Structure 1
Amino acid sequence: MQYLEIVPRLIPAVRNGTKRHTIRWQEGAVRCGPLTYINQQDPSERLVVWVTEVKTMSLSQAADYLGMSAEWPDPIMLAGMREHYPAIELDSAVVIIHHLSPAATQARFDAGDV
């Protein structure tokens, strides 16, 4: 099983299915299939999702790719990402990981579609 840490404030959105992607930088390879998010502050809290697609692009392209250009202009995107990755730059290659909700992932397991 592959794992990624997640900040506690994002866990409710992953759990309810409104957050179905994450942008990561230099955290190792992620592949399609099951992935466990681990709460950074409480490692006992975990959510399993199914990674459906992994895309690599520059950070400067990510907001447009995700349809968030208006909400995340370059200065806002860079500042937000630097909270997690202080050395990141707009030309840094990031990975955008798309995934199913935990409920859809569980349904996939229940159906034997894994």
Structure 2
Amino acid sequence: MQSLEIVSRLLPDVRAGRKRHTIRWREREIVPGPMLYVNVQDVFDTVMVWVTHVEKMPLSDVAARLGKSAEWPDAELLEGMREHYPSIGVDSEVTVIHHLPPAAYVKS
């Protein structure tokens, strides 16, 4: 089962279906299908989602791709990403992982 760690403050938005993507840099490869988010502070706190597609792009293209250009100017997005990846740059290639809300996850 593929999985990714996630900070606890983001889990409520994942569970509610408000957060439907994650931006990662230099982490394991994720492919479409089931994926488990694991709380970095409590490994027993998890959320299962279904990854629909994965895209690679420069960090500078992410906000526009996700329709968040007004909310995430380059400097703000870079600052937020550096909380998790201190050496990331605005031109770094990142992976954007898109997923359905947890309620839409159906085991096959």
After superposition, give the CA deviation of every residue in 1:25-79 in whole Å (9 maximum; x if it has no partner).
0001110000000000011101010000100000000001001111110100100
Runs of at least 5 residues in structure 2 that lack an aligned partner in the other structure: none
Other-structure match for 2:49: 49
TM-score (structure 2 length as normaliser): 0.98
Q: Structure 1 vs Structure 2: percent identity of aligned residues?
A: 57
Runs of at least 5 residues in structure 1 that lack an aligned partner in the other structure: none
Q: 5 Å matches for 1:71-110? A: 71-105=71-105, 108-109=106-107
Counterparts of 2:59 and 2:100 in 1: how far apart (Å)? 22
| 2:22 partner amino acid | T
| 1:66 partner amino acid | L
Tell me which stretches of 4 or more aligned residues in structure 1 moved more than 4 Å: none
| 1:20 partner amino acid | R
Aligned length: 108
Which structure has the larger Rg? 1
Aligned-residue CA RMSD (Å): 0.6
Task: Please identify which structure carries the higher strand content.
Answer: 2
Counterparts of 1:18 and 1:71 in 2: how far apart (Å)? 15
Counterparts of 1:16 and 1:78 in 2: how far apart (Å)? 26
After superposition, give the CA deviation of every residue in 1:71-105 in whole Å (9 maximum; x if it has no partner).
11010010000000000001100000000111110
Q: 5 Å matches for 1:13-92? A: 13-92=13-92
Q: For 1:44, what is the secondary structure of its paired residue?
A: strand
TM-score (structure 1 length as normaliser): 0.93
Q: For 1:47, what is the secondary structure of its paired residue?
A: strand
